[in-house]
């Protein structure tokens, strides 16, 4: 699930913490509809987060949004993984992981702990619709930090909050 994404979301040398917020209408609804169609055509999956991020960023750009692919830390409530996602108009679009599902969050934490294999995580994500994936909003006990990896992070006061 890790690897170079080609773009880091780092401002003035500080990591960025992205806020959980709905994308404004009508572009938010247009993006969600386009992502639903793309997911039906070729499902987004944890096994290739970079592809999911690139595809969702491309869709957002076609809708006139400012979009980039970001690599950083995804804290899922006490467990963190090195992850790749898209940001559209400064809001998270993470279609690879349906973290708006409590049961998937349990599976994701097990994956981070090494108790679940990547193919099992992929199977766990398969049945979830776009409603459970992140298009701006995500659970309050999770956070997205655009920066390299946890070990390289500076003190929390260095984090720039966006949104």
pLDDT of 88-139, one tens digit each? 999 999 999 999 999 999 999 999 999 999 999 999 999 899 999 999 999 9
Structural domain of 136: 14-162
Q: Is 50 domain-assigned?
A: yes
pLDDT of 48-87, one tens digit each? 999 999 999 999 999 999 999 999 999 998 788 999 999 9
E-strand ranges in 14-133 read 14-18, 67-75, 80-88, 91-94
Q: Is 143 domain-assigned?
A: yes
Q: Is 1 domain-assigned?
A: no
Q: Is 6 domain-assigned?
A: no
Token digits of residue 54: 């690139």
**What's the pLDDT score for residue 16?**
86
Q: How many domains does the chain have?
A: 1
Q: Which residues of 64-80 are buried (b: 16+ CB within 10 A; e: fewer)?
A: ebebbbbbbbbbbeeeb
Residue 27 has pLDDT above 50, yes or no: yes
At residue 152's C-alpha, the angle toward residues 96 and 100, to 5°, is: 25
Q: Is 9 domain-assigned?
A: no
**What's the pLDDT score for residue 159?**
54
Q: Is 7 domain-assigned?
A: no
* 125 in Cβ contact with 46 (< 8 Å): yes
At residue 84's C-alpha, the angle toward residues 82 and 88, to 5°, is: 140
Q: Is 22 domain-assigned?
A: yes
What predicted TM-score, i.e. pTM, was given to this entire model?
Answer: 0.83
């Amino acid at each position: 699930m890790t690897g170079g994404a080609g773009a880091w979301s780092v401002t003035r040398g500080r990591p960025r913490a992205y806020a959980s917020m709905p994308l404004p209408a009508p572009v938010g609804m247009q993006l969600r509809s386009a992502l639903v169609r793309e997911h039906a055509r070729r499902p987004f999956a944890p096994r290739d987060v970079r592809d999911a991020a690139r595809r969702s960023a491309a869709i957002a750009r076609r809708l006139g949004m400012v979009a980039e692919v970001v690599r950083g830390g995804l804290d899922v409530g006490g467990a963190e993984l090195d992850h790749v996602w898209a940001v559209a108009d400064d809001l998270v679009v993470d279609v690879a992981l349906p973290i708006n599902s409590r049961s998937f969050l349990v599976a994701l934490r097990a994956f981070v702990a090494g108790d679940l294999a990547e193919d099992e995580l992929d199977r766990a994500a398969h049945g979830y619709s776009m409603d459970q994936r992140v298009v701006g909003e995500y659970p309050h006990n999770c956070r997205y930090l655009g920066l390299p990896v946890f070990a390289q992070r500076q003190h929390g006061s260095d984090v720039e909050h966006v949104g």
